[in-house]
Amino acid sequence: MAVNLARRLLNEGHAILAIDDLSRGKRELLAEFNEHPRFAFEQLDCGDADTLSSAVDKLGAQIDHVWHLAANSDIPAGLADPRIDRDRTFQTTFAVLDVMRRHSIPELHFASSSAIYGDLGDREIHEDIGPLLPISNYGAMKLASEAQIRAAVEAFLPRADIFRFPNVIGVPATHGVIVDFIRKLKATPDRLDVLGDGTQQKAYLHVDDLVDAMCHVSQLPGRYKVFNIGPKDDGVTVRTIAELVRDRVSPSANICFGEGNRGWIGDVPRFRYSTERLTNTGWTPKLSSIEAVRRAIDQIACEESRNWSKP
Ligand SMILES: NC(=O)c1ccc[n+]([C@@H]2O[C@H](COP(=O)([O-])OP(=O)(O)OC[C@H]3O[C@@H](n4cnc5c(N)ncnc54)[C@H](O)[C@@H]3O)[C@@H](O)[C@H]2O)c1
């Protein structure tokens, strides 16, 4: 997602200092910007405020916006070791805010998540719903990040946007259900094991739509804005995704489903997401969930086969 956002911001004429500790990101994903005169990269831990502050000093230019995407995006890993979410999701937000205060950086755009809502069953999830009871440590650390940002807006931060979105798909693909299924089929072309019984149904947003929505919201007036971002439909089942990936990648494979309607602890099996606040501002996604899934399967299958054919 950071690559797609960087591409968009550079095209709009902005200059970027990209920061990643490469714990999950890969430097080569940013290779297309290597020669770009308005792009710089630093490999460092955003959770370390002093190091982050030094990188801002070294840049020697006033920064106007921070797009804070750094986090642990591996939800099951955070279940096995909660320190991962604390360090990569909570602490990065703490340090980013500290550095924004020290350097008087006025605007923060924060990638939150639908995971902050927890499992609300059939209730339609709008931005003001409550109580917020996340069921994953990842969701808890995102919610705690949002709380820090809200307090910072009261104390010193002139503007903040909070983007709450569900599953994002597209390329480059670093993780997620589609890339997971494609890699499993590469390893065992005659069998695809699926976590859960396949009935989990989720909304899927294509990364191109997400970046467009975030840029749209960043232009809206308001000191503190919170927006759900997602498609307008109720989503696609894991069974449908498994079948579409199988048909595209290894048509003769058997799909073997697990048990229960959760892929892992903290997985929300089904939710109804309201994006009315966003659509009322005049923005709608170009792709529905199923269209996004079909496009992403095609894009990721091509990307993965290029990776496999590399020596
Ligand atoms: N992809 C989704 O479906 C989805 C859904 C909701 C929210 N989000 C959020 O959007 C953001 C981007 O997600 P993504 O899918 O591109 O995930 P990603 O894992 O590809 O990107 C997160 C990046 O943060 C970096 N990072 C982690 N800890 C760091 C640290 N301490 N210092 C510096 N860099 C660090 C990782 O190396 C990685 O490159 C994340 O905050 C994620 O939680 C993603």
| pLDDT of amino acid 81 | 94
Q: How would residue 311 be classed by pLDDT, with cut points 50, 70 and 90?
A: low
Least Cα distance to 69 among 206, 211, 170 occurs for 211
Q: What is the mean pLDDT of the chain?
A: 94
In a domain, 54, yes or no: yes
First to last CA, the chain: 26
Percent of the chain with pLDDT over 90: 83
Question: Is residue 282 a part of any domain in this protein?
Answer: no
pLDDT tens digit string along 11-43? 999 999 999 999 999 999 999 999 999 999 999
Task: Provide the Cα torsion 135, 48, 104, 152; round to 10°.
Answer: 30
Give the bridge partners for 205, in sequence order. 168
Ligand 1 geometric centre to CA of 92 (Å): 11
Total domain count, the chain? 1
Residue 296 lies in a domain: no
125 or 308, higher pLDDT: 125
- Say if ligand 1 is within 6 A of residue 149 CB: no
- Has residue 240 been placed in a domain? no
CB atoms within 10 A of CB 18: 19
> 289 with 236: CB under 8 angstroms?
yes
1, 92, 267, 271: residue to mutate for ligand 1 pocket, most atoms within 8 A of CB: 1
5 lines ligand 1 (CB under 6 A): no
Does 90 fall in a domain?
yes
Whether 226 has a pLDDT exceeding 90, the answer reads: yes
Q: What is the pLDDT of residues 82-128, one digit of tens each?
A: 999 999 999 999 999 999 999 999 999 999 999 999 999 889 999 99
Residue 88 CB–ligand 1 contact under 6 Å: yes
- How far apart are the CA of 139 and the centre of ligand 1, in A? 13
Tell me the CA–centroid distance for residue 264 and ligand 1, in Å.
19
Check pocket membership of 300 for ligand 1, CB cut-off 6 A.
no
Distance 244 CA to ligand 1 centre (A): 26
Please tell me which residue, 169 or 267, carries the higher pLDDT value: 169
Q: Is the peptide bond before 166 cis (omega within 30 degrees of 0)?
A: no
What integer pLDDT is reported at residue 264 of this predicted model?
66
Quick check: CB of 23 below 6 Å from ligand 1?
yes
Nearest CA to ligand 1 atom 26: 70
Range of the domain at 143: 1-164
264 alpha carbon, distance to own chain's centre: 18
Q: Does any domain span residue 41? A: yes
Q: 168 CB under 6 A from ligand 1?
A: yes
The closest alpha carbon to 125, from 160, 69, 177, 164, belongs to 164
* CA distance to 212, 236, 281, per residue, from 289 (Å): 16, 6, 21
Q: Which two tokens stand for residue 225?
A: 């804005």
Residue 305 counted as domain residue? no
Q: Whose CA is nearest to atom 41 of ligand 1?
A: 69
CATH number, domain of 37, equals 3.40.50.720
Q: Which atom of ligand 1 is nearest to the CA of 89?
A: 28
Looking at ligand 1, which atom is closest to the CA of residue 205?
A: 3
Q: Is residue 133 scored above 80 in pLDDT?
A: yes
- Our answer on whether the CB atom of 214 is closer than 6 Å to any ligand 1 atom is no
- Give pLDDT tens digits for 53-69: 999 999 989 999 999 99
Please answer whether residues 143 and 226 qualify as being in contact, where contact means their C-beta atoms are separated by less than 8 angstroms: no
Contact of 190 with 253, CB cutoff 8 Å:
yes
Q: Which two tokens stand for residue 130?
A: 């409550």
pLDDT in tens, 159-202: 999 999 999 999 999 889 999 999 999 999 999 999 989 998 88
| Angle CA 47–52–54, to nearest 5 | 150
Angle at CA of residue 292, ends 286 and 293, nearest 5°: 170
The yes-or-no verdict on residue 293 having pLDDT over 70 is yes
Q: Is residue 40 part of a domain?
A: yes
Confidence bin at 268 (pLDDT 50/70/90)? confident
